[in-house]
Structure 1
Amino acid sequence: MNKKERAPVYYSEYLQLDKILNAQQPESEKEGIKANDEMMFIVIHQTYELWFKQILHELNIIRDIFKQEHIPNSSPDIYNSVHRIQRVCRILDVAVMQMSVMETMTPLDFLDFRDLLRPASGFQSIQFKMIEATLGLEYQQRHGQNYYLSQLNQKDIERVKEAESKESLLVLINRWLERMPFAKDSYWLETSGHEFWKQYREAYAGSLSEMELKNLETFDKLFMNDANYPAERKLSADANRSALFIMLYRDYPLLHLPYELVSSLLEIDELLSMWRHRHIHMVQRTIGKRVGTGGSTGAEYLRGAADSHYIFKELAELTSFLVSRNLVPKLPEKLVHGLSYN
């Protein structure tokens, strides 16, 4: 049976170029004001929103993978997740570099049309807020919470709240890390007859300088006594131990991709921070101490958000508890076999 004949696809129709290329309507033109840089300003922000759409697309695929109750080690799911998280990182690379184009606009160029934009503001980018929520930034963590809601219309408030109500990638990654058996002392007692974390604590304590000895108190809270585990942490005690174990034994084949996944999540935080700080410097250079078009405190607000909106900081903090390879406890043969290609 012949397939139904499809109509030919034409480049501009496929990409909807009539809609995209006619979607730039400078406010300065409506007012009869000459402001040549407003076109670039619009195109840059539209491009950001297209990239944000792609990031949300990738994150939703990853979330669907980690919603599964069980992800077999032999399935392509972890590779697919790492691949897509790394794609998000490359998109954020572009987002950071794209700021260079925006920086070709001088303060006077911006003043030609800036006042016509009020009260619109990049702060009203719903997709960016949805990205933060999807990754794991909770409302309680947000800088300037009152301003965060007051500048949005009701439809967009509902969109962001819906994104915040769903299980974030951080929550799902936490659950996945909790399921990993290798860092649990029960697994070690079964395979080797001794407890891993007491052995590792001894190695870690021996690696500390006199000025670092206070780190041992934190180590004990995070790894040795679940009753004292800080309630405010987003990662559970089991997930915390699994993440450090992955960092320590990343050279074993079964932990290659989990390590790449953890590293890529840290890279997302790093790139978002770079983007925010690049934005701060651009705003300082362009409008100085003036308020933003949406009524924010401008660079001051952006700096507050940049300092508090780290999503995977608990993973980043784990590097404080690593030791050199020669001090890492040797794995039992059964575990070596389980973590290797056989």
Structure 2
Amino acid sequence: MQPNAVHYADYLELTKLLNAQHPESSKNGAPLAHDEMLFIIIHQTYELWFKQILFEVDSVLAIMHQPVLDDNAADMQTVVHRLKRVGTILKILVQQVDIIETMTPMDFLDFRDMLRPASGFQSWQFKILEAKLGMRFEDRHGKAYYTSQLYTAEITLIKEAENAPSLMMLLNRWLERMPFLTDLAAWTSDKSGSNNDTGFFATYEAIYTNSLAEAEKNNIAFFKETFYDEPKKNHRHLTATACRNALFIMLYRGYPLLELPFQLLETLLEIDHQLGNWRHRHINMVQRMIGTRIGTGGSTGAGYLKAAMDTHIIFKEIAQLNSFLVDRRKLPALPTEISIKLGYSF
């Protein structure tokens, strides 16, 4: 080998990596609990994947945090590509549950009590990921103690992530500046006498309202709250302007200019979906392993995980926009000048 050649084992630091498993059950000369090695490697793998996900999310945040985001450059393609990678990695995390479920409850009991108070609840990387995606402190389940078992340095990193612009915040800013708002404000079909800035949506609201079944009429108030009222403090992530623009992207996603923005919204929903799948599989695994017993970290076990699954839905406001879609055949045809701007230019 050349003196400066890279060797596989050195490049991957395999000596460190393969000697980073130290089962508690085999310390002090005790016999090894066989499945503890699997337990350690699975969770180390999770943390490595969390590191990669954070690496991807940080790069996306850096792009979207630019003072001016050039939608005509490759930036948004990069954002969508990397977020799709995050979604694919999350699918792998869900699949890894299949491996850990080869361990029976009795196998787990061979070493479980030796782990106290260690718990997956102490995964500070996962809490940072939630914060960077858009999970706010006030929206967390169990916020009174969610950092109580962490080291000071870990808590500091989480708080820094919570205080920095999240992906959800940057998405809101990006949606608010959708480029053809002036054209929509001057929508000539508007006969409602509403404010100029809601011309298209006054037209669309009438179409949507007429499409509702009698049992769905309460959705009309939800429509007005979502698309006309600005968020009350700690109530919503997305402003009314951002919601209107996101819905427009969903409605007219077939136009070339809106294809990539639509992929971005769909990818964020997929990330939420996979996070939900991971939590669901985790709940089932915990119930199978320990039943109704408390977790090693002191949480209520499966009960805590269920509550977190129902609460920690980061991009819920994007998903809720699907409530306001109508049959494609009922969509108003866009004026020629808008269609031209949304299409290919030669």
**TM-score, normalised on structure 2?**
0.93
Partner residue of 1:188 out of 184, 187, 192: 184
Shift of 1:332: 1.1
- Tell me: CA distance 1:208–1:58, structure 2 relative to 1, closer, same or farther (3 Å): same
Shift of 1:191: 6.6
Aligned ranges 1:175-324 → 2 under 5 Å = 175-182=173-180, 184=181, 186-190=182-186, 192=188, 194=190, 195-223=199-227, 225-226=228-229, 230-231=232-233, 232-324=235-327
Shift of 1:38: 0.3
Q: Which residue identity does 1:158 align to in structure 2?
A: T
1:196 aligns to what SS in structure 2? helix
Partner residue of 1:11 out of 2, 8, 11: 8
Corresponding position of 2:71: 73
Farther-moved stretch of structure 1 (28-37 vs 251-260):
28-37
2:121/2:297 contact within 8 Å kept: yes
Tell me how many residue pairs correspond in the alignment.
334
Shift of 1:7: 1.0
Unmatched 5+ residue regions in structure 1? none
Distance in 2 between residues matched to 1:118 and 1:193, nearest whole Å: 66
1:145 aligns to what SS in structure 2? coil
Q: Which runs of 4+ in 1 moved over 6 A?
A: none
1:52/1:127 contact within 8 Å kept: yes
- Tell me: CA distance 1:209–1:193, structure 2 relative to 1, closer, same or farther (3 Å): closer
CA RMSD in angstroms, aligned pairs only: 1.5
Write the deviation string for residues 79-117 of structure 1: whole angstroms up to 9, x where unpaired: 100000100000000000000001011010000001111
Shift of 1:190: 4.1
Shift of 1:69: 2.4
Farther-moved stretch of structure 1 (6-15 vs 252-261):
6-15
1:37/1:105 contact within 8 Å kept: yes
Identity across matched positions, percent: 53
Partner residue of 1:337 out of 328, 332, 340: 340
Unmatched 5+ residue regions in structure 2? 191-198
2:147 aligns to what SS in structure 1? helix
1:87 aligns to what SS in structure 2? helix
**TM-score, normalised on structure 1?**
0.94
Q: Which residue identity does 2:110 align to in structure 1?
A: D
Distance in 2 between residues matched to 1:204 and 1:191, nearest whole Å: 17
Distance in 1 between residues matched to 2:35 and 2:328, nearest whole Å: 54
Write the deviation string for residues 4-49 of structure 1: whole angstroms up to 9, x where unpaired: x981111111111111001000011104133000000000000000
Q: Which residue identity does 1:324 align to in structure 2?
A: D
